[in-house]
Chains A and B, each alone.
With several copies, the nearest count.
Chain A
Amino acid sequence: MNTLSRWFGRNLLRIYAVVAFTYLFIPVAYTFAFSFNDSGKSNLIWKGFTWANWQNPCGAPEVCTALGNSIKIGLLATIFSTILGTMIAFAIGRHKFKGRSSTNLLIFLPMATPEIVLGASLLSLFLVFQINPGFWPTVIAHVLFCMSFVVVTVKARIASLDPRLEQAAMDLYANERETFRRVTLPLVAPGIAAAALLAFSLSFDDFIITNFNSGTMTTFPKFIYTSAARGIPAQANVIGSAMFFLALAIVIVGQLVTRKRKVS
């Protein structure tokens, strides 16, 4: 009894984490389950188990084109926003300069702007400049809203960095560049990686802004939104679940590899 309650006391938070993750994954599990639905047109009601959707994930018209677009846009948006955002984060986090607080505000504004406003105002800009909505305008829109998230994430990490470590590096003959490369960057890297991951997730999952600026190009969320009216095909569930597992797998493998490297 005593040991049991001690076990509970010690693991209360872990138990909580399990509950919280369960909450996060309920709809994912639902999506996964219905990826095996022998659904026909509309994947709303359980009609029986089938492998067919997984065997032919691109079976529904457009779904894989949409996925391909989403991934391409996601990667490009991640690269650009991570580079631009990290640069800004370092400027703000590591330097004192005139206009620092207004820069801060400007970075924050896109986040404070509802997506619908962002999407609509950007579209009107493109049209003024005679640029047709589509792939690149979408990439630009995504870079725009991902960048602020990158800045915030990376800046937080920079702020947590003990300045004495950089001083120690400088003291040990590392010039600004080397100090950055050997000490600052490795210590900030987890923050940058997290920011990139977040950027990709945000881009990959965005619907509202994309809806304004993508013209007739479909993306995965757009595909789901438009199919919602006539029934989302089970292939969408297949792809949603597959992406989820892919993300997990990449990270777990990455984790295992770094641990192995550490051991050897």
Chain B
Amino acid sequence: MSDAASSARGDLGLSHLTKSYGDFTAVNDLSLIIPKGSFFALLGPSGCGKTTTLRMIAGLEEPTQGTISLGATDITYTKPYQRPINTVFQNYALFPHLTIFENIAFGLRRRGIKDVDDAVNKALDLVELPHLAQRKPTQLSGGQQQRIALARAIVNRPALLLLDEPLGALDLKLRRQMQIELKWIQKEVGITFVHVTHDQEEAMTMADTIAVMNEGEIEQMGSPAELYDNPKTAFVANFLGQSNLIKGSITGSDGANQIVDLFGQKISLQKDRSHAVDNSILAGIRPEKFRISRLETSTSGNVLTGGKIEDVSYIGVSTQYQVLMPWGQELMVFEQNDDGVAPFSVGESVNISWEPVFTFALRGDDDAEAGTEVNPEEDLEEE
């Protein structure tokens, strides 16, 4: 076993991976390469096939089609225990008959390691639960169980670690702390992480590469900044963070920029940030890029005039505004609460401005609402 664990290191490759349950396709012709030692995050709405993908990589589910390779080795049909891969299960799957200590020691013992105390205690310290070593899993709270599941996988220092929402049941502080520990381990030991998470900040701060999945397929893959600043589709733009998408058309060009008409107001857009295929586009701007100004204030960059504050909500770090534009669309604007200045109030007339460099453009025929909510109709393809 330790043979298997030490050999066959290398990149993880998924090629045309497909998994169907009867008529329903949970993962559809998925191909990607995850470089050795990288931190790869898998994001996507509920039910899009993330868990299924991880289970195939772990060897717990046989693909309906496609292959999985680790380095040069095809592991599609390799037994789970022969893969140098460990998993933190979404449902924990702790062994009910073993103590917490023995749960964590399980993998080490299987690899013939005699003296496990040190490693197990370190793992327990890592998840802040050294005092629970002798309890049974049922005597733990939800978050405690999740941390044990994490410790049980990480203690093995596998070549590849699959994490299925490993921190979902933890409070923010603990989650941040665990994130730091995980990142540290990943760098220190050079483990490849494949991480499923619903916490976008987690994905953004931790991952080298993020893949956004939707209905069994990968929509876009890239570095966090790439995905955030330059999303290719409305689904990605909306799913990862929030976006204001405004229908418009390209009316001209000005050096590296294009001139875009948004309901009669002209703005400019960097050519290399456009994924449009023709003149019809969706212009995208993140809400935090917007600045709001009272009508009398002068503004620079791209400006849209004629806004009206529709809603104000205070969320601690910042304030969120809904601004109704003349063409009837509500735009979302975030302003950080750092200046102690009285915020705008509902009904005020305002202008909105932003730096042109922050504009991105999507195909005009993309669904501006994609990724803002799960669309039940789209799922109906099955049955």
A residues with CB within 8 A of B: 6, 162, 164-165, 167-176, 178-179, 182-183, 186-187
List chain B residues, Cβ under 8 A from A186: 97
Question: CB of B87 within 8 A of chain A?
Answer: yes
Cβ-defined partner of B93 (8 Å) among A167, A175, A176, A182 = A167
List chain A residues, Cβ under 8 A from B94: 168
Q: Is the CB of A175 within 8 A of B97?
A: no
List chain A residues, Cβ under 8 A from B82: 175
Instruction: Give the interface centre of A162, A171, A175, A186 by most chain B CB atoms within 10 Å.
Output: A171
Q: Is the CB of B60 within 8 A of A182?
A: no
List chain A residues, Cβ under 8 A from B111: 173
With A173-B1, A173-B156 given, is the CB distance from A168 to B95 under 8 Å? Answer: yes
List chain B residues, Cβ under 8 A from A187: 96-97
Question: CB of B358 within 8 A of chain A?
Answer: no
Interface size on B, residues (CB 8 A): 27
Q: Is the CB of B60 within 8 A of A173?
A: no
Separation of A170 and B153 alpha carbons in the complex (Å): 12
**B163-177 CB contacts (< 8 Å) to partner A:** none
List chain B residues, Cβ under 8 A from A165: 93, 95-96
Instruction: Give the interface centre of B91, B106, B152 by most chain A CB atoms within 10 Å.
Output: B106
Q: Is the CB of A171 within 8 A of B95?
A: no
Q: Is the CB of B1 within 8 A of A162?
A: no
| Stretch of B73-81, B228-236, B279-287, B343-351 lying at the A interface | B73-81
Number of A-B contacts (CB under 8 A): 67
Interface SS majority for chain A: helix
With A167-B80, A179-B81, A187-B97 given, is the CB distance from A172 to B156 under 8 Å? Answer: yes
Separation of A187 and B80 alpha carbons in the complex (Å): 20
Cβ-defined partner of A171 (8 Å) among B77, B86, B96 = B86
Instruction: Give the interface centre of A162, A173, A175, A182 by most chain B CB atoms within 10 Å.
Output: A173
Q: Is the CB of A168 within 8 A of B79?
A: no
B187 → chain A, closest Cβ, in Å?
23
Q: Is the CB of B110 within 8 A of A6?
A: no
Cβ-defined partner of A175 (8 Å) among B1, B59, B77, B86 = B1
Separation of A162 and B95 alpha carbons in the complex (Å): 10
With A175-B81, A182-B106 given, is the CB distance from A168 to B97 under 8 Å? Answer: no
Q: Is the CB of A171 within 8 A of B97?
A: no
List chain B residues, Cβ under 8 A from A6: 77
List chain A residues, Cβ under 8 A from B97: 183, 186-187
With A173-B81, A175-B79 given, is the CB distance from A168 to B110 under 8 Å? Answer: no
List chain A residues, Cβ under 8 A from B156: 172-173
Q: Is the CB of B91 within 8 A of A164?
A: yes
Q: Is the CB of B80 within 8 A of A170?
A: yes
List chain A residues, Cβ under 8 A from B107: 172-173
Question: CB of B8 within 8 A of chain A?
Answer: no
Question: CB of B85 within 8 A of chain A?
Answer: yes
Separation of A167 and B85 alpha carbons in the complex (Å): 12
B289 → chain A, closest Cβ, in Å?
43
Question: CB of B34 within 8 A of chain A?
Answer: no
Cβ-defined partner of A174 (8 Å) among B85, B87, B96, B110 = B110
| Closest partner residue, chain A, to B87 (CB atom) | A171
B51 → chain A, closest Cβ, in Å?
11
